[in-house]
A and B are shown apart, each in its own frame.
Chain A
Amino acid sequence: MGKGWVRWLAFGVLAMTVLVSSCQALAAVPAIETSAERAL
């Protein structure tokens, strides 16, 4: 039971790593230009 908080802490680190990496990949997607933007 004493090690429970260490496991939860490690899970927090893992979850943040996966989530932040996934969101970075999402943020790196180039913006799609609309036809109106392209016309400008």
Chain B
Amino acid sequence: MARRYGGIHSPGEAGKRARQSADIAGRTGSGTPASLAGRNALRLDIRARLMFLLPAPLLIAAFLSLIAGDLVATLLALASFVALEGGAWLLSEGQKALRAYEARAVARRPAVPRLILAAAAADIGVALAQLAGGGGIVAAFGFGALAAAAHIVAFGIDPMANKGIDLSDAEHGRVADALADAEAMLRAIHDDALSIPDAEIHERVLCLCDEVRALLRRIEQDPRDLPRARQYLSVHLVGAREATRKYAENHDKLEDPALRADYLALLGELEASFARGRDKLLADDKTDLEVEIEVLRDRLGRESA
């Protein structure tokens, strides 16, 4: 069902609905619903995009060699093209993983060293292109090595160490895994919500994701909070994921305004619940601190007596 888009300043029914929604979001503690706090801007690296375009002449070379009936040249040009394009893909995936690693306070190092593999693929691709172009083995090795070295200087290598806390023991490993799982689930919720053609739902889901990310940042700062936050990450977040998936699958068929209202109400409740969870973690920390101060005060009192 098509739904007219409307912001809080729009006249008529659409604006009224958006204002009510903003009101609900304000009551649930998320502040301004249009706030961009905690959201990552989409970052595009023009250099990484160019790496997809630069090997294009190889595809033409492979095509022309095929017409000319030169099988070896065709295979060399094709293999070189595949290696360079594969390297460009590894580079963009590696940059995504690097940005995710940099954005978090607690993270494992990437399991697959994509940036290093991208440099190796550039090495192989350039060497094969040199062979296809009639260059000798020395030129192939030399230019391949030059390309790999330039790739490493230009794009860097993958992080080699775990970050934030010592993740060597199992407990800390569990924290990093739980945070990674929660992030993956947030991405899935976000993707499902984008498939629903409803601006208000997009906005509310983004608010919910902001609230969950605030809770995750809290756990990153103090990983001892994880057991207390477990129910939010397992029960509530999984519930939000399932509800969003089912609503995205069925809203077209059912076209039921009551269902939409229920779903929006659920999002509001979940958002409020995550906000309460974060406040509770802060309150628990405060209680811990108060107990510690009390104990110290008692001890000082006894020693001075």
Contacts and interface: CB of A to CB of B under 8 A. Distances in A.
B150 A24 contact: no
A8 B146 CA distance: 15
A25 B67 CA distance: 15
Nearest to A19: B54
B18 to A, nearest CB: 41
B134 A28 contact: yes
Interface stretch (B121-129, B174-182, B271-279): B121-129
A14 B147 contact: yes
A17 B146 contact: yes
B118 to A, nearest CB: 11
A25 B55 CA distance: 10
Contacts of A11: 47, 150, 154-155
Contact of A28 (B80, B126, B132): B132
Interface string B47-77: 1001100111110110011011010010011
A25 B150 contact: no
- Contact size class for B? 35 or more
A15 B122 CA distance: 10
Given A7-B154, A10-B153, A14-B151, A26 B60 contact: yes
A13 B130 CA distance: 16
A6 interface: yes
Nearest to A7: B154
Contacts of A28: 61, 73, 132-134
Contact of B125 (A6, A8, A10, A18): A18
A34 interface: no
B153 A6 contact: yes
Contacts of B143: 17, 21
B135 interface: yes
A13 B119 CA distance: 13
Interface in B271-302: none
10 contacts: A7-B153, A10-B149, A10-B153, A18-B51, A18-B54, A21-B80, A21-B133, A22-B54, A25-B76, A32-B64
Interface of B: 47, 50-51, 54-58, 60-61, 64-65, 67-68, 70, 73, 76-77, 80, 84, 122, 125-126, 129-130, 132-135, 143, 146-147, 149-151, 153-155
